[in-house]
Amino acid sequence: MAQKPSIPKGTRDFSQRETAERDYIFDTIRGVFRSFGYAPIETPAMENLSTLLGKYGDEGDKLLYRVLNSGDPFTGLDLSQSPAALSRALCEKGLRYDLTVPFARYVVQHQSEITFPFKRYQIQPVWRADRPQKGRYREFYQCDADVIGSRSLLGELELVQIVDRVFAQLGIRVVLKVNNRKVLTGLAEICGVPDKVVDITVAIDKLDKIGLPAVKEELAAKGLSAAAIATLEPVLCLSGSTQEKLAAMRKLFTGASEAGLLGLDELEELFSLVEAGSVSCPVELDLSLARGLNYYTGAIFEVKALDWAIGSICGGGRYDNLTGIFGLPDMSGVGISFGADRIYDVLQGLGKFPEGLGTPARLLFANMGRDELRYILPVAAALRSRGIAVEIYPDAAKLKKQFDYADRKGIPFLSITGADEMAAGEVGVKNLSTGEQRRFAVSDAEAIADFLS
């Protein structure tokens, strides 16, 4: 019995229509990136594990896909080694977890060829050994834009403006939430546990998913005292306007955390730039926003759809020394990443994809026979040269079959050109939606193209 075909869990096939819809997302994002002066690069699907490990925290490291060394990696292997040592011996490479760390590696490796500040965008797949669920896949695309080589908050503002434009063009209402990792460092300091900033960050990053009681339990499990959790809780529940939140936090940090005060200064400046930057979508200060990646050092962003229940569809932040681990210290950057697969689910759920994206051809030429085929070939070529996608049915089949083909593929126009049209030197074209039929001179491709538009 033949094996039933299947694909790995957490991955998907995409039909022609779905691929066209995804291209619509990519093209929209790509166009906005370019309008801000970002240019594309690409990096390999695989990176050395030494490049990837330790950049995403312990939880992130567990989600890395490791690639078994080629040949017979078990030959001569000491199987008595620890699991970690065995893993290192068997796997020297891994599939990329995101696009930011490979970007940092690229910047260091190609620094002599780069003009700084360096603005790049990258649209490629990434892989995570996560548990598949709605909106979460093991293979998915990211659409990243980063600028590196400047500490100016203009970089953060541009990313906010990019988010605003992308989702406005896609027709998705969003809220963009902002925080600063220095503020989170300040929280750890006023709680009296400055060495547990990562534990605090990882826990409060789950606030929306598991709720405050579960976050408090996790913080206690990480060793935070009841007094420290009590200090943290009102901050996570803080309400009011952005200015009211900043004022409340400034009172809390004054005399207790210089890092926290610096983070508030950066947030105040960023919100001032956003106000002057013609940003239409709501931009909110969310002091519970943590973003679980360890390399963020300044502003952090997260975008959520307002009209569709799904996780974050975009996120990013400032990283001050990500390239330092590759030998290029003090190179500050800031970036944003659009989750194309989740954006797809939102557009599909809201019915926001433009009509006709899955239609590859505008016109189908019916195949009426050998002589008719040779008659219409120059017309098809002339239309294609004018940017009109046309198809010719390959076989001289019954007209009903050819009509059905056009209908199933959503091709809006059909040309039935037979002996009468050939004798008159004409081509017939029918609009399958309205029923309107026209005949054109065989040499008048421009008029045919106008009718098809």
Residues 6+ apart with CB under 8 A from 76: none
- Strand 426-431 with 437-441, pairing: antiparallel
- List strands edge to edge, sheet with 66-67: 46-48, 93-95, 66-67
pLDDT at 431: 95
How far is the C-alpha of 80 from the C-alpha of 387, rounded, in Å?
65
Query: What is the tens place of the pLDDT at every residue in 387-427?
Result: 999 999 999 999 999 999 999 999 999 999 999 999 999 99
pLDDT at 235: 82
Flag whether pLDDT at 366 surpasses 80: yes
Distances (CA, A) of 276 to 3, 25, 89, 269, 271: 61, 28, 54, 11, 9
Q: Is the peptide bond before 117 cis (omega within 30 degrees of 0)?
A: yes
* The pair of three-digit structure tokens given for residue 71, joined into one six-digit string: 């040949």
Nearest Cα residue to 342 out of 204, 167, 178: 167
pLDDT at 86: 66
pLDDT at 80: 65
pLDDT at 95: 96
The domains found in the chain, sorted by start residue, are 16-350 (3.30.930.10), 363-452 (3.40.50.800)
How far is the C-alpha of 319 from the C-alpha of 186, rounded, in Å?
17
Q: Any long-range contacts for 394-397 (C-beta under 8 Å, 24+ apart)?
A: 394/367, 395/367, 396/367, 396/368, 396/369, 396/370, 397/367
Phi first, then psi, for residue 37 (nearest 5°) are: 85, 15
Query: What is the tens place of the pLDDT at every residue in 296-332?
Result: 899 999 999 999 998 899 999 998 887 888 889 989 9
**More reliable by pLDDT, 195 or 157:** 157
Flag whether pLDDT at 196 surpasses 90: no
Range in 153-162, 237-246, 398-407, 425-434 the model is least confident about? 237-246
Query: What is the tens place of the pLDDT at every residue in 2-29?
Result: 789 999 999 999 999 999 999 999 999 9
Phi first, then psi, for residue 352 (nearest 5°) are: -100, 0
- Strand 299-305 with 314-319, pairing: antiparallel
pLDDT at 78: 65
Distances (CA, A) of 363 to 49, 360, 384: 50, 9, 10
pTM: 0.85
Is the distance from CB of 263 to CB of 249 less than 8 angstroms? no
* The pair of three-digit structure tokens given for residue 395, joined into one six-digit string: 């076989």
| pLDDT, average across residues 126-130 | 93
